[in-house]
Amino acid sequence: MAIDYSNFIVDQLDSDLEETENLVNEIGKYSGTTILDVTDEEQTKRLKIQADGTWTIVLSDLKTAREMDSSASGRGDDVFTYRGGAGVAKLTHNGKSNFIVDFYNEDGSENLVNEIGKYSGESVIGSGPGFLQVHADGKWTVKVD
């Protein structure tokens, strides 16, 4: 017996209803947190959602994101407020798919890692305050020294 899992896709749409960014594209069940309109230039007017089952989306102010001191860990997509200084981020991932970690602060954005599968490495992170966005399909850790 074959099981057919469909994608759960969420895209940002601008005022012309053009796709501006893909927020989620997962096969099967999904639960996670991601950033919408991280820059002032982004002005999402609608979300385009493709799913074969029931879904719920909760929009929250970034001010309510969980605080990360010098480390964080989790499973799947998540967003944290980072208030620490610049340093070296040690990152791990034990999943099979994309592992992407981006950092956003007043100076712009930095991609700390963009790999597929298991990962263990380091990347320089700028000073906070800022937001750390993790896209992952498995368990992950971030520790800033």
**69-85 pLDDT, tens per residue?**
899 999 999 999 999 99
Whole-angstrom distance, CA of residue 62 vs CA of residue 60: 6
Is 68 in the same domain as 120? yes
Q: Does some domain include residue 2?
A: no
Is 15 in the same domain as 69? no
Whole-angstrom distance, CA of residue 2 vs CA of residue 143: 41
pLDDT tens track for 16-44: 999 988 898 888 888 888 888 877 777 89
Q: Supply the pTM of this predicted model.
A: 0.84
Tally the domains of the chain. 2
For residue 45, the tally of other CB atoms under 10 A from its CB is: 12
Beta strands in the chain (DSSP E): 7-13, 19-27, 46-50, 66-68, 71-75, 78-82, 87-93, 98-105, 108-116, 119-125, 130-135, 139-144
Domain of 21 in residue numbering reads as 7-50
